[in-house]
Amino acid sequence: MPTLGRKKSEAASTVGYDDTESLVVSAGVVTALILAFVAALLVQFGFGDFDRLNFKEAMYDWPNRDFSEFVVYTLQQDGFNFTEDLDRRTTIDVKDTLMSRKYADAYTSIGNRRLETAMELVIPDFPMDRLNAWFVDHFDETTLYVNRANNFFRCSVIATSVLIVAMVASIVAYISLTMSPAREDESGAALEAWKRWGMGFTMGIYWMNGLAMICFLIAVGNALTIQDTFYYHATFMFEMVMYCIVIPTVFVTLGVFIQATRVSTQAAEAENGSLAANSVDFN
């Protein structure tokens, strides 16, 4: 009887081989799943797909009138008609609208329908090769004020790279666990020895998956802003969802299950202590 009590205590205090193997295998499966989504997103968009977004972002965020002057000058060279009749009662002066926009108006222009209207009229006729050439010529400023396309590709590449590392790590971890004597060793010593090195490594794979998922969500948000006519409307909605719903929910969920693991471990340790005390008393 005392021997049975000790064996039950040892079994309750350790993560068995099957549980360890499931953690390693699940890490690889989750990594492959996330990698499939990231790779699909990365090949979906080319840099030219962000020209419209880059144009609007520069128009809103550029700290001086250089970009507005460049846009107006380029359109003048192409003979663009700056006076547009939207309907029988509405006429818009595109040049005046673009040039009157100031940097201080950037975030107060969320509802600026005139500026959005002017950009919608201009973008279809604007030579985007000239736009990209101007961005290259103003590289230092462009990287500060036109960054959503860069963020998309940067986050997608980071996520892909991290996931490839995680995939290789999960394969190596599974091979290591399978080749070890952990399954055959009934005493559990081999498994405990493997876990001292391998369990932290396996948890690291899950953390890499979490980092990749964050980068993936940022890339998705930057890609979705292409679809919305109102640039700041899309940006505002993405940031609200990301920072007010997704991130808090992730941290709350993580905290709950970490606490659940801690509480269950304490309960198991208390039960083991009680069994050990009863065994000593019995002897």
Q: Enter the pTM of the model.
A: 0.73
Q: Are 222 and 151 in contact (CB under 8 A)?
A: yes
Task: Write down the architecture of domain 2-46+148-282 according to CATH.
Answer: Up-down Bundle (1.20)
Distance of CA 2 to the CA centre of its chain: 53
pLDDT of residue 10: 43
pLDDT of residue 197: 87
pLDDT of residue 29: 95
- Cross-strand partners of 92: 84
Q: Which candidate, 26, 31, 41, 37, places its Cα nearest to that of 208? A: 31
Residues of the chain scoring pLDDT < 50: 1-13, 104, 107-111
pLDDT of residue 91: 83
pLDDT of residue 5: 40
- Give 233's contacts (C-beta < 8 A, 6+ positions apart): 110
Q: Are 70 and 104 in contact (CB under 8 A)?
A: no
Q: Are 48 and 176 in contact (CB under 8 A)?
A: no
- Give 30's contacts (C-beta < 8 A, 6+ positions apart): 206, 209
pLDDT of residue 269: 73
Q: Are 34 and 216 in contact (CB under 8 A)?
A: yes
Instruction: Encode pLDDT of 123-166 as tens digits.
Output: 988 999 999 999 999 888 887 777 778 888 888 999 999 999 99
Q: Are 50 and 226 in contact (CB under 8 A)?
A: yes
Structure tokens at 44: 């979906």
| Rg of the chain (C-alpha set) | 29
pLDDT of residue 283: 56
pLDDT of residue 139: 86
Instruction: Encode pLDDT of 161-187 as tens digits.
Output: 999 999 999 999 999 999 989 888 888
Q: Output the DSSP codes for 182-248.
A: TTT-TTSHHHHHHHHHHHHHHHHHHHHHHHHHHHHHHHHHHHHTTT-SSHHHHHHHHHHHIIIIIHH
The full set of domain ranges for the chain reads 2-46+148-282, 50-145
- DSSP-based three-state secondary structure for 244: helix
Instruction: Name residue, tokens 């004597």.
Output: 181
Q: How far is CA 182 from CA 100, 193, 197, 202, 203, in A?
A: 72, 9, 13, 16, 19
In whole angstroms, give the CA distance from residue 107 to residue 231.
Answer: 11
Q: Are 202 and 194 in contact (CB under 8 A)?
A: no
**DSSP for residue 84:** E
Angle at the Cα of 9 (from 7 to 12), degrees rounded to 5? Answer: 110
Q: Are 113 and 83 in contact (CB under 8 A)?
A: no
In whole angstroms, give the CA distance from residue 58 to residue 147.
Answer: 9
Run of H or E residues at 91: strand 91-93
